[in-house]
Structure 1
Amino acid sequence: MTSSQALSQKVVIIGAGIVGTNLADELVSRGWNNITVVDQGPLEMPGGSTSHAPGLVFQTNASKTMTLFAKYTVEKLLGLAKDGENCFNQVGGLEVATTPSRYEDLKRKLGYAQSWGVEARLVDAAECKRIYPFLNEEIVLGGLHIPSDGLALAARCVQLLIERTREAGVVYRGSTPVTGIERSGGRVTGVETPDGVIPADIVVSCAGFWGVEVGAMVGMSIPLLPLAHQYVKTGPVPALKGRNELPNGAGLPILRHQDRDLYYREHGERYGIGSYAHRPMPVVAADLGLTPKHVDEHSMPSRLDFTPEDFAPSWEDSKEILPALREAEIEDGFNGIFSFTPDGGPIVGQHRDLDGFYVAEAVWVTHSAGVARAVAELLTDGRSQIDLGECDVARFEDVQLSRAYVSETSQQNFVEIYDVLHPLQPKESPRNLRVSPFNARHRELGAYFLEGAGWERPYWFESNAHLLDELPAEWQPAPRDAWSAQYSSPIAAAEAWKTRTAVAMYDMTPLKRLEVSGPGAVTLLQRLTTGDVSKKPGAVTYCLLLDEHGGIRSDITVARLDEETFQVGANGNIDLAYFTREARRQRAEDPAQWAQVRDITGGTCCIGLWGPLAREVVSAISDDDFTNDGLRYFRAKHATIGGVPVTVMRLSYVGELGWEIYTSADNGQRLWDVLWAAGQPHGIIAAGRAAFSALRLEKGYRSWGTDMTTEHDPFEAGLSFAVKLSKDDFVGKAALEGFSEDGSPRRLRCLTVDDGRSMVLGKEPVFYKDEPVGYVTSAAYGYTVGKPIAYAYLPSHVAEGDAVEIAYFGSRIRATVTPEPLYDPEMKRLRG
C-alpha cells in the first residue's frame, strides 16, 4: 500500500470516549483525516466509563508496557490545553503502607519505577505526613511518592480532542448506535447505523464495556467483563475549606490506601473515595439499553445506583486513615461500570479472520493516550513502538474466551486488584482446564502444579525429595529469602542434578504446536521467518519472526516433516493469529500458494527426554537409530518407541543430549509409561519447570516475552545467528541492514550474583556506577554453576567483567557481567 493509499483509508472509530478521541487525534497527527467517530451517546457526555472516571493516573506498574502507556498519557494530557489550562493536574501520587507486607511491596514498586524510568522515592511515615498532612501518621509505616502522577481531566480532554480533530476534518456522529458491521471478501466495508452505512476500510472498536457486543457483530470474542466499582463524594470537609479554588480542584497528591482497597482525591472542599473492597458486581452491557439523548453527571448508562451497605466498611476505614473525614458525611455515591479482563490487561489488536477490524477495549483513563498511540502506530506503521504482547487480543487460548472463564477470572482480578501478589502466584480457580496425557502420572509422582494459559504445569515432583539426601555438596542450593522462596522448592536442585548426570523426562505438551501444510507452506514460512526452512525434510530450524522494523515478534522452531508439511514450535496464540492472517493473504494473492495453518497442540503431546543417559533409555525400547549418525542435532524423524509411533526432534533447551518426542494425545500415557519403565535402570526421574528454567538460563537460551519482544532486534538480543541475511527477502530484513552486535547501543547480558546466594525474580532495576541502566529480564538459581543468574539489557559500554548492582526490595545485590553461556559453551553435551 502506498502512502497516499494509506492516507485515503476510511476509518470509523466506534466510541467517543477518551480512547476513541485520542485515537482520532493520533491518526490526525500522522496525516490521516478520513475519519468518522460514532457514539451511541451524546458527544458532550457519551455516558461510558470516561464520563464518570475519577481520573487517577498512577504510572508505576509491574508491566513495562502499562507503565509506558501511562507515562505517555501524562505527557500528552499535560500538552493538551486551552485558555491556559491543560488536561492534567500533576499533583503527584502517594501510596501508603499500613502493614509490613505492603511496605515491602512498595520497595518492589520502587524497583519497577526505576526499571521503567519513572521518578519515585520511598518515604517514611513522617515524610508521608508532610506530603499529605491529613494522614493518620500512627497507622502509616511509609509510602511511595511519585511526583509526576496526577489527575486526568478526562471529560475536558475528550471535548478538547473532539474540538481539535474536528478542525482537522474528523466527523463525529453522536447519539448514533452501531447496529452491525458490514463486510465483504474477508474485509470490513462499513459500519451499520439506523441512519445508514458509514463506509469504512478500517473499523476500530473503542466501545469500552460495550465492546463485547460490538465484537459479537463480527463473531469475535472480546474477553472482558463490565463490573461496577464504588465511588463516593463527601459533603464539605472542614479541613479542605479554602484549599482549592475550583469545585473539582485538587492540590494534594492522589492517595492510595491499598491495604484497604481504597483511593482518594480532592474535589474542591470535598473528598472523592473509590473502593474495590466490595463484592464484585458484574453487569451485562446489553441489558443497559441504548444511551438516552440526554446524559448528565447523575444520569448515564455507566452509573448505577449506589449500594451503601457495600461501602459501609470502607467509610470506617477511610475515617481511620483520614481523620478529617470524621467531620463529614457521604453526600453522593454511585456504582460506576468499567471493564476487567482475565489477566488485567487491555484488549488491543486486529481480528484474526477479518481484515480491517481492530479493537482497543478494557482501557482505563490511566493508559488511554498510550494505547491510542499504539493503535495508531499499528495502523500507520504496522507496529507499535511499545510491545503489545501483554495486550494482544489474540493472547488468550480458546478455553479462556468462554463467558464462564472470563466472568470468574475477571471478578477475581477485581478482588485482587490491590493485593500483594507473587509473580508466580497461580489462579486458585478455575483449574484443571487443560491437562496433558501425562497428568495422572504426574499426580502419582506428587507434582506441584502451577497454571499457565489454562495448562497445569508441574514445577517439581515430591517423589524426588529423597534425592536431596544424595545431592552432592556442590549442587546444594543456597537458602532463599522468604519472597523468592514462594512457589519454589529445593527439589528443583535434585531434578537439575539428575538431568545433568543421568536422565529426566519433562512434559513439554503446553508448548504451542502448529502444523503448516500445503503447496504454499514453504513460501509462507520463508517469507515470515529469518531462517532458511527450505532444507530437505528432516531439517529443524530455529528462527525468528520479525516485524517490518526488525523487532522480534517471536522465536520458533520449524521442522520440515515432508515436502509440504511443517511442524512449528511457537509461543502462543499470537503466533497462530499471525500465521493464519498471513496465510489467508498469501492465498488471496495467489490461490496456487495456499497454506493451511492448524493448531495441533491439543491433539498431540511431547516429552523432553534429556540427559547423558538418554540414549541408553531409548535404545532399550526402539529399533530406530538414535546415534549421532542416525539423528543429528537439529534434525527430526519419525520413529517407534516402545510400540508408540512418534516424531522425534533432536532439540534440547536444557543443554543436554536428548530429544523432544511427540505423539498423538491418545498414545501419550503409553509413551510416558514405556520411557519410564526403560529408564528405571538408569535412574530416570520426572522433572519440572523450575529445573527447566534454571537449566535454560545456564545455557543462555532466550525466552520470548521477557528476554526479547518487539522492542528488541536480533543483534541486541544475542540472536544474530538465527538470522540468515543471505536468504531472499523476509519480513524485517530491510530494517536490519547495517545492524550488528558490535553496533547495538544495548545488549542482553548474563549476570552472575557475586555472593552466590541472593536471588532476584525479574523486572528489578540494574545499576551501573550507581545509575539505573537496565532491568532484569529472566532470573533463576543456576544449580550447575552454584550461583544465581540474571539476564538484563545493558548499554553496550557495560562490558563483560564489569560490576553492576541489582536492586531487590530496596537493597543492592552485587553482580558481575559474565560471558555466556555459562554451561557447555563448546556445545559438546548437545552434539555428543
Structure 2
Amino acid sequence: MTALPAKARAVIIGGGVSGCSVAYHLTKLGWTDVVLLERKQLTSGTTWHAAGLIGQLRGSQNMTRLAKYSADLYVRLEAETGVATGMRQVGSISVALTEERKHELYRQATVARAFDVDVREISPAEVKEMYPHLNVSDVIGAVHLPLDGQCDPANIAMALAKGARQRGALISENTKVTKVHAKNGHVSGVSWTKGEEHGTIEADIVINCAGMWARDLGAQNGVSVPLHACEHFYLVTEPIPGLTRLPVLRVPDECAYYKEDAGKMMLGAFEPVAKPWPPAGQRIRDDFCFDQLPEDMDHFAPILDMGVNRMPMLETAGIHTFFNGPESFTPDDRYYLGEAPELGGYWVAAGYNSIGIVSSGGAGMALAQWINDGEAPFDLWEVDIRRMQPFQKSRTYLRNRVTETLGLLYADHFPYRQMASARGIRRSPLHEHLKARGAVFGEVAGWERANWFAKPGQEREYRYSWKRQNWFDNSRDEHMAVRTGVGLFDMTSFGKIRVEGRDALSFLQRVCANDMDVAPGKIVYTQMLNAKGGIESDLTVSRLSETAFFLVVPGATLQRDLAWLRKHVGDDFAVVTDVTAGESVLCLMGPKSRDLITKISPNDFSNGTNPFGTWQEIEIGMGLARAHRVTYVGELGWELYVSTDQAAHVFEAIEEAGADLGLKLCGLHALDSCRIEKAFRHFGHDITDEDHVLEAGLGFAVKTAKGDFLGRDAVLRKKEAGLNRRLVQFRLKDPAPLLFHNEALVRDGKIVGTVTSGSYGHFLGGAIGMGYVPCAGESEADVLASSYEIEIAGERFAAEASLRPLYDPKAERVRM
C-alpha cells in the first residue's frame, strides 16, 4: 500500500465518476498534489449500475456545452489511458407522441444547433428506418443526434482514475473520511480510517463528491448539500436473435429509455411518482457496496406494459436482469457544483439526478477550472450550489420533493411549470390575504409567490402548454393595470442584506461598480463584478446612515450574494447580515401610484422631496414603512419595506384606498413581462458572471473614476478594446408567437446566439426577448442594420431589434 501523505493541496472524497473526473481534470491543470479517498471501492455507490447514456441535448446552452464536452472526452479517453470505456457513438433518437412534446424536442434541437451540436429533426418513417423494431404508429416527430452514444460507466470512471494517477494523483480505496477539519472559516484537512490505520491529511481544498452520502457528509460541517436517493429501475433482456447495434432511444411520453447492448435490450424508467430511499428514519448502511435494492415489479409494471407495446419483441424476450439501485436527486433536478457558501475551501460536485455519466466529464472540467482560477470558467448558475436555501437540507422536505423530481426528468418541460410537492414552506405575511383574492402561487427559493390572480369562478390551476396558457389574459390585465393605472405586487421574497460598521462604505466601494459614497436617503443601482468584469450580483443599495447600508437582491440569489460579500469582506470592519425575514415588501406601481399612496400617508411624495432613486421613512395607515422610489416594471412607483408584523395592516390600508382608483393585485408573471418590455435585466438570464457589464449595457452603473474596485481593470480594458457583443432587445413582428428563453437568434440568416429572457409585451403588442449579438468592430448602426429573426422550434419569425428599451426609451415614466 502507498502511504497516505500528511499534506495535500486537494482531497477529493468519493470515487465515483464525479470524483474521478475532478481528480483527472485537476491533474490536467498541473495539480499533482491531489488525493482521492473512496470509502469502499471505486464506482461502488451509483456509478457501477448507471445506464451509461451519453446524450448531448440539454435544456440550456451551457448544460449542452458540458454534455458535449463529456461526449468528446469519452471518445478519446480510451486512447489516452488504455482503459476500454465501451464508448460507442451509436447516436440517439428522442420521439414525441404529442404535439407539445414535439414542440419541446424541436426547441431543444434549436438550442443544440446554436451550440454546434449535430442534430436534425426526423419523421416517423425515418425513425422506423433507423429503429425497425419500434412501433411508430403514434409517433408524430423525433430528433436524431448522431454523435450521442453509450458507454461502460464503471470503465469511464476507471479511465478517469488512471488518467489522474498518471499525472500524479494518489487514489486510496477502502479509506473512509471520518471528519473534515476547519479552521477560521476554511477547511484545513480530513481525518481518515483504513482498516486498523487512521490519520489526518492537511489540505487547502476538500471536494465532496460523495454522491448519495454527500448530504450527511456536508452536514458534519454545517454545509448544505440537499439531495436524497431514489430507487431507479431498469431491466435487461436475454439475448434477442437478430438484434444489432441501435441508437439509444428515449420515449419521454412513456417515461422510458431503451439501449441495445451486446444483443440484449435494456429498458429503463423515470416513473412519475418515485420511491425515495432509504425509508424514513433509516440511513444508508455502512457496508453498502455494489448493492442492489429489492425488486418491485408492481412498481415497474406500467412502464413494461407500455414498453411491450412500443417494442413488441419484448413480449417474448426473457428477462435476464431486473435491477433496482439508488441514485441521488436534488430538489430542482440540477446537480451541485461550486464552493459551499458556509465554509471556505469546501467544494461540492454531487447530486447528478441520474445523468451523472454524461454530466461528470464536463462538470469535473468546469469545477477544476473554477478551483484553479478562483472564478467559474463560464456561467454555471444553473448548477451552482449557492442557489440552494438552508431549509432545503431538511430530510422530510427532500423525501417529499424527490418523489416528483425523478419523474420530471422525462416530463414535459413546459414554461412556467411549478413543482407540486414540498410546497408552502416559506410564506409572506400576506399569503392568506392573496390566496383569498385568487392568487395562484409559484415557488422560488422556497417562497410561495403569487404568479397570477384568477378571476371569480376561474380554476386556480395551471394548464401548461407551449402556447398561451390559461392565465395569459389574467396576466395581460395585470400588466396593463401597471402601465395605465396602479398595481400592487407582494415582493417579500426579495433578499435583504444589511451591511454596517466603520468600514461599510469602503467595503462596498471595493465590491460594487457604482459609487456608494452618497448621502443617506439615496439608493444606488449597481453590480458586483468579478475580475473579468462579469456580473456576480445585480442589486440596489440604500444608504441608511453613515455606517449602515441596505442591499436588495433577488430571492433566488440571496445565498450566492451573502457568500460573495462575506468572501470579500476581508479585514474590513463591516458586518454582513441577512435580514430577509424582518420585512415584507409591497410594490405599488403605475401612473396612479402617487394618487393612491397620498391617500393613506401624510408624507410628501413629490419629485422635489422624494425623487427617483431616494427613500424616506413614512407613515402609512397606522403603521410605518420605508418608501423606496425605484421600479422593476418601468413605471412611477414605490417599493414599501414594512416590518412583517405590520405588513397585513398596510396591505389592507392600500387595498381599501385603491378601490376607487382601480387598484389591481398583480403577480410575478406580470412583473416579468413588464420588466422585459422595459429591457430591465434579470440575473441568471440576461446577466451572469460570464457577461461583461459593458456588453450587458450597464455601463451607466459603473463609475471607474471613483477609484479602485473589483473588476475595474477589466472594465477599462473593455472600454479600450471595444465590445465583442451587445445585449439587444427584440420584438416579434407577428403578434401570435411566444418567447420564453433559449430560442435561437438569427442574424442575416445565421444563428448567432439565444434569447436570454422572453415574455409577451402586452403594451407593445408582441413577444419581447433579449439576447446577445456579436458586434466586434461594429457600430451601433451596423448592429441594427442587419435582418433579425428568432427561431422557435425550427420555425423562424422576423424580429425588430433595438439597443434602447422599446418601451419608454427615455425613462420618462419612472420620473413622473
TM-score, normalization: structure 2?
Answer: 0.92
3-state SS of 2:400 partner = helix
Note if 1:811 corresponds to 2:795: yes
Note if 1:326 corresponds to 2:315: yes
Note if 1:262 corresponds to 2:256: yes
Residue 199 of structure 2 aligns with an amino acid whose one-letter code is: G
Q: Matched residues in 1 for 2:310 and 2:720: separation?
A: 53
Q: Matched residues in 2 for 1:275 and 1:605: separation?
A: 43
Give the structure 1 partner of residue 303 of structure 2. 314
Give the structure 2 partner of residue 5 of structure 1. none
Give the structure 2 partner of residue 287 of structure 1. 283
Residue 399 of structure 1 aligns with an amino acid whose one-letter code is: F
Q: Matched residues in 2 for 1:594 and 1:662: separation?
A: 27
Residue 578 of structure 1 and its aligned partner are, at CA, apart by: 4.3
Note if 1:552 corresponds to 2:535: yes
Residue 482 of structure 1 and its aligned partner are, at CA, apart by: 5.6
Alignment check: 8 A CA contact 2:257 2:269 kept = yes
Note if 1:825 corresponds to 2:805: no
Q: Matched residues in 2 for 1:116 and 1:287: separation?
A: 42
- Inter-CA distance 787–433: structure 2 relative to 1 (3 Å threshold): same
Q: Deviations over 1:722-761 (max 9, x none)?
A: 1112232222222233214993222211111112332222
Note if 1:422 corresponds to 2:414: yes
Alignment check: 8 A CA contact 1:229 1:338 kept = yes
Give the structure 2 partner of residue 345 of structure 1. 334
- Inter-CA distance 102–780: structure 2 relative to 1 (3 Å threshold): closer
Note if 1:678 corresponds to 2:678: no
Q: 1:768 aligns with which of 723, 742, 747?
A: 747
Aligned positions, number: 790
Q: Matched residues in 2 for 1:775 and 1:668: separation?
A: 40
Q: 1:198 aligns with which of 201, 219, 239?
A: 201
Give the structure 2 partner of residue 443 of structure 1. 435
- Inter-CA distance 562–169: structure 2 relative to 1 (3 Å threshold): same
Residue 582 of structure 1 and its aligned partner are, at CA, apart by: 4.1
Alignment of 1:776-791 (within 5 A): 776-791=755-770
Q: Which moved more, 1:401-410 or 1:702-711?
A: 401-410
3-state SS of 1:655 partner = coil
Give the structure 2 partner of residue 470 of structure 1. none
Give the structure 1 partner of residue 351 of structure 2. 362
Q: Matched residues in 1 for 2:515 and 2:768: separation?
A: 32
Q: Matched residues in 2 for 1:496 and 1:327: separation?
A: 58
Alignment check: 8 A CA contact 1:89 1:153 kept = no
Q: Matched residues in 2 for 1:451 and 1:289: separation?
A: 34
Q: Matched residues in 2 for 1:486 and 1:597: separation?
A: 42
- Inter-CA distance 443–428: structure 2 relative to 1 (3 Å threshold): same
Note if 1:65 corresponds to 2:62: yes
Q: 1:598 aligns with which of 574, 577, 602?
A: 577
Give the structure 2 partner of residue 476 of structure 1. none
- Inter-CA distance 419–531: structure 2 relative to 1 (3 Å threshold): same
Q: 1:611 aligns with which of 546, 570, 590?
A: 590
Alignment check: 8 A CA contact 1:122 1:142 kept = yes
Q: Matched residues in 1 for 2:464 and 2:413: separation?
A: 16
Give the structure 2 partner of residue 154 of structure 1. 153
- Inter-CA distance 648–716: structure 2 relative to 1 (3 Å threshold): same
- Inter-CA distance 503–746: structure 2 relative to 1 (3 Å threshold): same
3-state SS of 2:718 partner = coil
Give the structure 2 partner of residue 247 of structure 1. none
Give the structure 1 partner of residue 106 of structure 2. 107
Q: Matched residues in 1 for 2:798 and 2:624: separation?
A: 51
- Inter-CA distance 126–734: structure 2 relative to 1 (3 Å threshold): same
3-state SS of 1:558 partner = strand
Alignment check: 8 A CA contact 1:632 1:650 kept = yes
- Inter-CA distance 687–464: structure 2 relative to 1 (3 Å threshold): farther
Residue 21 of structure 1 and its aligned partner are, at CA, apart by: 1.2
Alignment check: 8 A CA contact 1:73 1:366 kept = yes
Note if 1:214 corresponds to 2:211: no
Note if 1:542 corresponds to 2:525: yes
Q: Matched residues in 2 for 1:825 and 1:430: separation?
A: 42
Residue 583 of structure 1 and its aligned partner are, at CA, apart by: 3.1
Residue 791 of structure 1 aligns with an amino acid whose one-letter code is: M
Which stretches in structure 1 are left out of the alignment for 5+ residues? 1-7, 244-250, 467-479
Alignment of 1:502-517 (within 5 A): 502-517=485-500
- Inter-CA distance 713–766: structure 2 relative to 1 (3 Å threshold): same
Q: Matched residues in 1 for 2:116 and 2:100: separation?
A: 24
Q: Matched residues in 2 for 1:68 and 1:146: separation?
A: 15
Alignment check: 8 A CA contact 1:97 1:142 kept = yes
Residue 87 of structure 1 and its aligned partner are, at CA, apart by: 5.7
Q: Matched residues in 2 for 1:276 and 1:161: separation?
A: 28
Q: Matched residues in 1 for 2:510 and 2:111: separation?
A: 38
3-state SS of 2:434 partner = helix
Residue 329 of structure 1 and its aligned partner are, at CA, apart by: 0.6
- Inter-CA distance 769–645: structure 2 relative to 1 (3 Å threshold): same
Residue 209 of structure 2 aligns with an amino acid whose one-letter code is: C
Residue 801 of structure 1 and its aligned partner are, at CA, apart by: 4.9
Alignment of 1:731-742 (within 5 A): 731-740=710-719
Residue 528 of structure 1 aligns with an amino acid whose one-letter code is: V
Residue 584 of structure 1 and its aligned partner are, at CA, apart by: 6.2
Q: Matched residues in 2 for 1:381 and 1:78: separation?
A: 27
Alignment check: 8 A CA contact 1:227 1:339 kept = yes
3-state SS of 1:737 partner = helix
Q: Which moved more, 1:47-56 or 1:514-523?
A: 514-523
3-state SS of 1:183 partner = strand
Percentage identity across paired residues of the two chains:
34
Give the structure 1 partner of residue 167 of structure 2. 168
Which stretches in structure 2 are left out of the alignment for 5+ residues? 1-6
Q: Deviations over 1:244-273 (max 9, x none)?
A: xxxxxxx32111121221111122121122
Alignment check: 8 A CA contact 2:53 2:150 kept = yes
Give the structure 2 partner of residue 75 of structure 1. 72
Q: 1:800 aligns with which of 776, 784, 798?
A: 784
Residue 52 of structure 2 aligns with an amino acid whose one-letter code is: G
Q: 2:548 aligns with which of 559, 565, 570?
A: 565
Alignment check: 8 A CA contact 1:223 1:406 kept = yes
Give the structure 2 partner of residue 473 of structure 1. none
Give the structure 1 partner of residue 4 of structure 2. none
Q: Deviations over 1:477-514 (max 9, x none)?
A: xxx99633225331333323332232222222111111
Alignment check: 8 A CA contact 1:38 1:176 kept = yes
Give the structure 2 partner of residue 49 of structure 1. 46
Alignment check: 8 A CA contact 1:748 1:793 kept = yes
Alignment check: 8 A CA contact 2:618 2:625 kept = yes
Residue 648 of structure 2 aligns with an amino acid whose one-letter code is: Q
3-state SS of 2:331 partner = coil
3-state SS of 1:358 partner = strand
Note if 1:655 corresponds to 2:654: no
Residue 463 of structure 1 and its aligned partner are, at CA, apart by: 5.5
Residue 721 of structure 1 and its aligned partner are, at CA, apart by: 1.2
Give the structure 2 partner of residue 137 of structure 1. 136
Q: 1:275 aligns with which of 265, 269, 277?
A: 269
3-state SS of 1:823 partner = coil
Residue 358 of structure 1 and its aligned partner are, at CA, apart by: 1.0
Q: 2:606 aligns with which of 624, 627, 630?
A: 627
Give the structure 1 partner of residue 510 of structure 2. 527
Residue 291 of structure 1 and its aligned partner are, at CA, apart by: 4.0
Q: Deviations over 1:352-410 (max 9, x none)?
A: 23211111111311110111112112211112223121112221223333222211111
Residue 634 of structure 1 aligns with an amino acid whose one-letter code is: G
Q: Which moved more, 1:376-385 or 1:571-580?
A: 571-580
TM-score, normalization: structure 1?
Answer: 0.90
Residue 72 of structure 1 aligns with an amino acid whose one-letter code is: Y
Give the structure 1 partner of residue 177 of structure 2. 178
3-state SS of 2:472 partner = coil
